[in-house]
A and B are shown apart, each in its own frame.
Chain A
Amino acid sequence: MAQLVATLASTHHPFYLKATTMPPEQQMPQAPEWKRKVEAYRETLSRTKPDILVMIGSDHFHQIFLDNCPQFLIGKAERYDATFYNEEREFGIPKYVLEGDEDMSRFMHQSLMNQNFDLAFSNELKIDHSIICPIITVRPENDLPVVPIYTNIFAPPLHTPRRFYDLGRAIRKAIDDFPSDKRVAAIGTGHLSLELGGPRQFMETGPDPVFDRQAIEWLKAGDIDAILENVTHETMARNGNATHGFLNFILMLGVAGAEGADYVDNLDLFHTMEAYFTWYPKEQTA
């Protein structure tokens, strides 16, 4: 059976590449610290020597739109193009091509259906920055096949925090059951408090630093009960109108399994709190 070797959950910041590669005299003062933190985080993945990456993200109206909008979707293709024109325009993210793993996608899809998760699927999925940002930060070599899974965190009605956690648990079971000797890492990105297109956007901090600190504590402790007791769609909307990206952190905690994180770091940037978590399955940290 395949072996889960690491679960990574982080924020994704589409400006990371631009912010850390522009001429040094034009860089923001935090750029070197940001780069150091990201490179340290990258090491938490590379030391586990993964063969396949299960990547969880959320399309930002790039391929998926309101005419046809799945709650959860899995990519099943040999390869995936990545980065849309408007992401190049706004963020300066280059185009990529990612290798797929059709066998694992097929197995994952069937397993999730068997576990009562009706995932939509796509045989021609173009990946957006929710999955390319973590490739840039934690696997810039882009040398591993991926199984992409998208969640709807954007177009209400959204699924419950509990459903995201349970989907994470089901993805974990599918990884554990995958008949292969491959080493699998699961990598998901989302947001802490975030405001986009509203009155609290682009402030000195994220829209709700109190929530950000609390969320980091919950994830650090793996305290799913506290999260499910305290986090609802209404509370997330009050934390910032795009805070629903936190649902992907809840999903990743489901993959890891409600345990304390083995690696936790964060960085207060000008309008968001960046956060980086890694969990290792317990038998391997010994």
Chain B
Amino acid sequence: MSKYYVNKFLFTVDRDPDYLKRYTEDPRSFVVTWEQSIGPKLIGNEGEASTVHGFTTAERDALINHDYVALFEMGAHFFLNLTLFIGIYDEPYLTKSGPLSFQREFAAKLQHWRDKEYPSVET
């Protein structure tokens, strides 16, 4: 398991309009590309490879499926998990169901955590 690597995925995609578009439109092939050529780069140093992290099957599936509930349950950072999926879903939900409708659906899907201690985001 690599919470760090899941967060690195969310972080690198959220800050890059091209990655965000590709992850929105074709998450399966984008996640493959990310694992091959984006994730292994040290942040801030395109030329240096880092070889120490990888996704578990569950982590990869959660990312491919835009499954923010599973990501929350794995302890992905709440801010990255929210911001990236707002970037993908806020506009289409807004057009269809009004302001904050995506954010409220996000919360609704996590109601079973409401009175429990949330999974730790510590990495």
- Taking beta carbons and an 8 Å cutoff, which residues of A are in contact with B? 60-62, 65-68, 84-86, 89-90, 154-157, 196-203, 237, 241-242, 270
- Taking beta carbons and an 8 Å cutoff, which residues of B are in contact with A? 4, 7-8, 11, 14-17, 42-43, 68, 72, 77-83, 86-87, 90, 100, 103-104, 106-108, 110-114, 117-118, 120-123
Most B Cβ at <10 Å: residue of A60, A61, A85, A155: A61
Kindly identify which residue among A155, A202, A241 contacts B123, using a CB–CB cutoff of 8 Å. Answer: A155
Main secondary structure of the interface of B (DSSP, over half): helix
Known: A60-B79, A155-B77, A200-B107. A86 touches B14 (CB 8 A): yes
* Given A60-B79, A196-B82, A199-B110; 16 other pairs, CB 8 A cutoff: A61-B79, A66-B4, A89-B17, A90-B87, A157-B122, A197-B77, A197-B106, A198-B72, A198-B78, A201-B103, A201-B106, A202-B100, A202-B103, A202-B107, A237-B118, A242-B79
Docked Cα-Cα span, A123 to B15, in Å, equals 21
Known: A60-B79, A200-B114, A201-B82. A66 touches B107 (CB 8 A): no
Docked Cα-Cα span, A228 to B17, in Å, equals 43
Kindly identify which residue among A89, A197, A202, A203 contacts B78, using a CB–CB cutoff of 8 Å. Answer: A197
Known: A67-B42, A156-B121, A157-B122. A196 touches B8 (CB 8 A): no
* Chain A residues with CB under 8 A of B110: 198-199
Kindly identify which residue among A198, A237, A270 contacts B107, using a CB–CB cutoff of 8 Å. Answer: A198
* Chain A residues with CB under 8 A of B72: 197-198
